């Protein structure tokens, strides 16, 4: 997990000329209709400059007509796309000799002509892939999306364990259901928190009462009510039975609140009604999330899944130990009462 955090936060982000073109064209199509006019202009301006990993393949030549220095460069894609990059000042020798450099480019409206704004990095050891529409904000993708997915996964496990208890009266299954529901709620809270951080930098506010934000609050209230219900009942088969039944009904709301309702309403979040994209993770466009990005995202998802599995095993033991301690305490109190 520590390696994941370092890999997600430390390296610079860089893309290709195709990423930059897609980001600029995507930005003109995907401005959410829920934003105000001022917010829309801010949203459109977020992708005017894109960091591109490139290598200069020609000497710098001064263009007297444009008053800029011109260099031919190729990007780091397998196709090695060639484009002309204009610099306001003469490029340094280090940049011209570098095998890889990350340069922030502004689109001119022509796919093969770019204006360099600044050089971000020379000879980067590791570069995170650029995701059009997110830029630097893409770093939180490796945390926010896995947290949300694991929350749904945990709620599904809780429902299956609850069903097993109702069918077999297996106390171990009931403990697994409780632990999974608790972890699902924890991961849902963390997904909401990371989503709020992303919303602050992308939409200008931590909370916008977007349909996705609203439905996750409703989902959290449903599962928090489960713990209130369980805590209000005395220990025993009745509490386990009612809690398991509640978990089954609660899980019915999960696909509705997570996958259905947010896609039926206009939303700031990708995938809402009328949105031309469904988000960089599920977008079938290969330029939205290519193979390398999928590998990084899959690694993040596996890491969080492993973390959930470890926490779940601990949680089951904690639940069983807590119930065992309470049983011994109740038994001791009963013996003391009889002795008196």
CATH of the domain at 94: 2.40.50
- Give the pLDDT band (50/70/90) at residue 277: low
Does residue 1 fall inside a structural domain?
Answer: no
* pLDDT value at residue 60: 93
SS (H, E, C) the chain: CHHHHHHHHCCCEEECHHHHHHHHHHHCCCCCCCCCHHHHHHHHHCCCEEEEEEEECCCCEEECCCCEEEEEEEECCCCCCEEEEEECCCCCHHHHHCCCEEEEEEECCCCCEEEEEEEEEECCCCCEECCCCCHHHHHHHHHHHHHHHHHHHHHHHHHHHHHHHHHHCCHHHHHHHHHHHHHHHHHHHHHHHHHHHHHHHHHCCCCCCCHHHHHHHHHHHHHHHHHHHHHHCCCCHHHHHHHHHHHHHHHHHHHHHHHHHHHHCCCCCCCCCCCCCCCCCCCCCCCCCCHHHHHHHHHHHHHHHHHHHHHHHHHHHHHHHHHHHHHHHHHHHHHHHHHC
Do 234 and 312 lie in a common domain? yes
For 263-279, what is the mean pLDDT? 70
Do 195 and 117 lie in a common domain? no
* pLDDT value at residue 62: 93
- Average pLDDT score over the chain: 84
Does residue 339 fall inside a structural domain?
Answer: no
- Give 56's strand partners: 73
For 165-178, what is the mean pLDDT? 94
Instruction: Give which of 158, 318, 316 is closest to 223, Cα–Cα.
Output: 158
Do 202 and 257 lie in a common domain? yes
Do 89 and 160 lie in a common domain? no
Do 115 and 143 lie in a common domain? no
Instruction: Return d(Cα 85, Cα 99) in angstroms, integer.
Output: 16
Higher pLDDT, 308 or 234: 308
Do 78 and 147 lie in a common domain? no
Does residue 4 fall inside a structural domain?
Answer: no
Instruction: Return d(Cα 141, Cα 194) in angstroms, integer.
Output: 9
Do 43 and 154 lie in a common domain? no
* pLDDT value at residue 73: 96
Does residue 76 fall inside a structural domain?
Answer: yes
Does residue 110 fall inside a structural domain?
Answer: yes
Last residue of a domain, one of 129, 154, 175: 129
Does residue 338 fall inside a structural domain?
Answer: no
Residue 209 has pLDDT above 80, yes or no: yes
Residue 246 has pLDDT above 70, yes or no: yes
Do 246 and 327 lie in a common domain? yes
* pLDDT value at residue 283: 55
- Helices 37-45 and 171-203: crossing angle in degrees, nearest 10, is 90
Number of domains in the chain: 2
Do 151 and 123 lie in a common domain? no
* pLDDT value at residue 119: 94
Do 112 and 185 lie in a common domain? no
Higher pLDDT, 122 or 287: 122
| E strand or H helix at 128 | strand 128-129
- Give the pLDDT band (50/70/90) at residue 196: very high
* pLDDT value at residue 339: 35
Lowest-pLDDT range, 170-174, 246-250, 264-268?
264-268
Does residue 248 fall inside a structural domain?
Answer: yes
Do 232 and 144 lie in a common domain? yes
Number of Cα atoms under 13 Å in the Cβ half of residue 325: 6
pTM given for the model: 0.80
For Cα atoms 67, 27, 77, give the angle at the middle one, nearest 5 degrees: 70
CA 258 to chain centre: 14
Last residue of a domain, one of 70, 104, 129: 129
Does residue 2 fall inside a structural domain?
Answer: no
Last residue of a domain, one of 129, 163, 184: 129
In the chain, % of residues over pLDDT 90: 53
For residue 320, give its domain range.
135-333
Residue 235 tokens read as 């220990």
For 241-262, what is the mean pLDDT? 95
- Give the pLDDT band (50/70/90) at residue 226: very high
Dump pLDDT digits (tens) for 116-137.
999 999 999 888 888 776 778 8
For 47-75, what is the mean pLDDT? 91
- Give 118's strand partners: 104
Residue 23 has pLDDT above 50, yes or no: yes
Do 173 and 53 lie in a common domain? no
For Cα atoms 150, 154, 157, give the angle at the middle one, nearest 5 degrees: 140
- Give the pLDDT band (50/70/90) at residue 270: confident
């Amino acid at each position: 997990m520590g390696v994941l955090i370092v890999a997600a936060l430390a390296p610079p982000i860089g893309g290709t000329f195709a990423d930059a073109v897609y980001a600029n064209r995507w930005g003109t199509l995907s401005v959410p209709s829920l934003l105000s006019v001022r917010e829309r202009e801010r949203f459109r301006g977020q992708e005017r400059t894109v960091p591109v990993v490139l290598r200069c393949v020609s000497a710098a030549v001064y263009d007297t007509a444009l008053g800029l220095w011109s260099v031919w460069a190729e990007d780091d894609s397998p196709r090695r796309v060639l484009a002309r990059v204009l610099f306001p000042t003469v490029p340094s020798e280090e940049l011209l000799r570098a095998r890889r450099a990350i340069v922030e480019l502004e689109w001119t409206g022509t796919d093969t002509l770019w204006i360099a704004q600044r050089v971000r990095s020379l000879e980067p050891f590791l570069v995170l892939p650029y995701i059009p529409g997110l830029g630097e904000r893409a770093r939180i993708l490796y945390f926010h999306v896995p947290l949300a997915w694991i929350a749904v996964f945990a709620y599904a496990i809780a429902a299956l364990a609850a069903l097993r208890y109702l069918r077999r009266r297996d106390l171990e299954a009931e403990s697994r259901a409780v632990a999974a529901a608790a972890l699902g709620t924890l991961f849902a809270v963390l997904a909401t928190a990371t989503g709020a951080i992303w919303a602050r930098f992308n939409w200008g506010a931590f909370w916008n009462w977007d349909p996705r934000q609203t439905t996750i609050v409703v989902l959290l209230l449903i599962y928090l009510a489960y713990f209130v219900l369980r805590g209000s009942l005395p220990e025993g088969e009745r509490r386990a039975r009612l809690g398991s039944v509640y978990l089954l009904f609660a899980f019915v709301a999960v696909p509705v609140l997570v996958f259905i309702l947010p896609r039926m309403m206009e939303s700031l979040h990708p995938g809402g009604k009328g949105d031309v994209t469904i988000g960089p993770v599920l977008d079938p466009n290969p330029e939205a999330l290519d193979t390398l990005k999928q590998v990084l995202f899959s690694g993040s998802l596996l890491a969080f899944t492993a973390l959930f599995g470890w926490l779940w095993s601990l949680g089951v033991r904690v639940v069983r130990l807590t119930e065992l301690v309470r049983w011994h305490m109740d038994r001791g109190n009963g013996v003391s009462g009889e002795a008196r």
